[in-house]
A and B are shown apart, each in its own frame.
Chain A
Amino acid sequence: MVGIEAAGHGIESGQHAASLTGGRPGILHGNKTYLLQDEDGQITEAHSISAGLDYPGLGPEHSWLHESGRVRYVPITDDEALEAFQLCCALEGIIPALESAHALAALPQLTAEMDEDKILIVNVSGRGDKDIFTVADALGAAI
């Protein structure tokens, strides 16, 4: 299985919400999980264009799946998610949530590793009508 993390403006920019790639384990809001934090354990600001991913940690189940190696986590940036958002709208007529658009954005790199007869399932976990104003703003479109 593959999981997608929100890389915001890019891991190296420091403005992201990829706590597995750019964080380490800690305790916050009642769970022990990978967190974006400094060396004193102060929580650092997360960034993602997707409100649902804009959090300095992630569900502890993901930390477990990451450490057990059962899931491979891949970072996807705001720009990559926006591109996939538009592509899905244009090709399928489906507006994916910006969270799900991160998963769609990983498709080219994942399918490139696969044999043609293999099947890949994407969990499009939410609809993107809620996100159209965010997307319009990011693309400089007036609606």
Chain B
Amino acid sequence: MTRFETAFAKGPALVCFITAGDGDTAANLDALVEGGADVIELGMPFTDPMADGPAIQEANLRSLGKGTRTADIFRMASEFRARHPQVPLVLMGYANPMTIRGPEWFAGECARAGVDGVICVDIPPEEDAELGPALREAGVSLIRLATPTTDAARLPAVLNGSSGFLYYVSVAGITGMQQAAQGSIEEAVAKLKAASDIPVAVGFGVRTPEQASQIAKVADGVVVGSALVDIVKQHGDDAPGPLRELTSALAEAVHSAR
């Protein structure tokens, strides 16, 4: 079994996001795992993070302001893999840093660092002639995004070549802002699960254990990002404690939802 399969086989999974290079990333990642995160999503900072709301935008700028380079992110990833051999690790980011040295280079670095999957926000399936194939060739999952505007006609294109899990972006908007209505999430997840065998994780706008619990009743995974990134902003180098606390509450809510 892959790390993803193991993580999602236990019931609803908690996926936790932080931005690489914002705060003490290694200590923060450890806190997420200790708190009970089942999957780690590590954001690759980008100068133009167009899918992200203010919280993660600012995290990107804080990280880049400290001089975070792509090589640093792969170092963080491979050190994480050494400390946590079983926890699936996803890199989330934007096309340009992923393709600038060639998609094969990026896919190879992911494989070497023990990265399980990649979310590339700004390459739609219709334009994915290079990155997706390179990742698959390297044995790294390409995690695609479905949204409220992904209709039945387009869904097969989104699913084609995607693996690991499917990320349902629950709002037609950016990260961390508005919360989707539970009814709309239930309906969308049901449609996605009918169309695919891979787990469906729901994110964008999920901030509290209560929300996470509601979503975990229907989805295979719940993604929390901005609420964790806010903690890193607020507590800086002292973030691991509060991160562990919120993650524990989220994990309990998600794991006991069904």
Interface residues, chain A, with chain B CB atoms under 8 Å away:
26-30, 35, 37, 39-44
- Leading 10 A-B pairs by shortest Cβ distance: A41-B100, A41-B96, A41-B97, A27-B95, A43-B47, A40-B70, A26-B96, A42-B47, A27-B96, A43-B48
Which of these, A30, A39, A44, contacts B100 with CB under 8 Å? A39
The reply to whether A29 and B48 form a contact with Cβ atoms under 8 Å apart is yes
A-B contact pairs, 8 of them (CB 8 A): A26-B100, A27-B123, A28-B96, A30-B122, A37-B96, A40-B69, A40-B70, A40-B100
Contact indicator per residue, chain B 48-75, by CB within 8 Å of chain A (1) or not (0): 1010000000000000100001100000
* Chain B interface, number of residues (Cβ within 8 angstroms): 16
Nearest chain B CB to A54 CB, angstrom units: 15
Complexed CA–CA distance, A37 and B95 (Å): 13
Which residues on the B side are within 8 Å of A30 (C-beta)? 122
| Residue in A closest to B120 when the chains form the complex, CB atoms | A27
Residue B99, interface by CB 8 Å: yes
Contact indicator per residue, chain B 93-109, by CB within 8 Å of chain A (1) or not (0): 00111111100000000
Which residues on the B side are within 8 Å of A42 (C-beta)? 46-47, 64, 96-97
Interface of B is mostly: loop
Which residues on the A side are within 8 Å of B70 (C-beta)? 40-41
Complexed CA–CA distance, A122 and B187 (Å): 56
Nearest chain A CB to B250 CB, angstrom units: 31
Which residues on the A side are within 8 Å of B46 (C-beta)? 42-43
Nearest chain B CB to A60 CB, angstrom units: 12
The reply to whether B64 and A27 form a contact with Cβ atoms under 8 Å apart is no
Complexed CA–CA distance, A42 and B101 (Å): 12
Which residues on the A side are within 8 Å of B101 (C-beta)? 41
Complexed CA–CA distance, A43 and B46 (Å): 8
In addition to A28-B96, A37-B100, 10 A-B residue pairs with Cβ atoms within 8 Å of each other are: A27-B123, A39-B100, A40-B69, A40-B70, A41-B70, A41-B97, A42-B46, A43-B46, A43-B48, A44-B47
Which residues on the A side are within 8 Å of B48 (C-beta)? 28-29, 43
Which residues on the B side are within 8 Å of A40 (C-beta)? 69-70, 97, 100
Which residues on the A side are within 8 Å of B97 (C-beta)? 40-42
| Residue in A closest to B93 when the chains form the complex, CB atoms | A41
Which residues on the B side are within 8 Å of A39 (C-beta)? 100
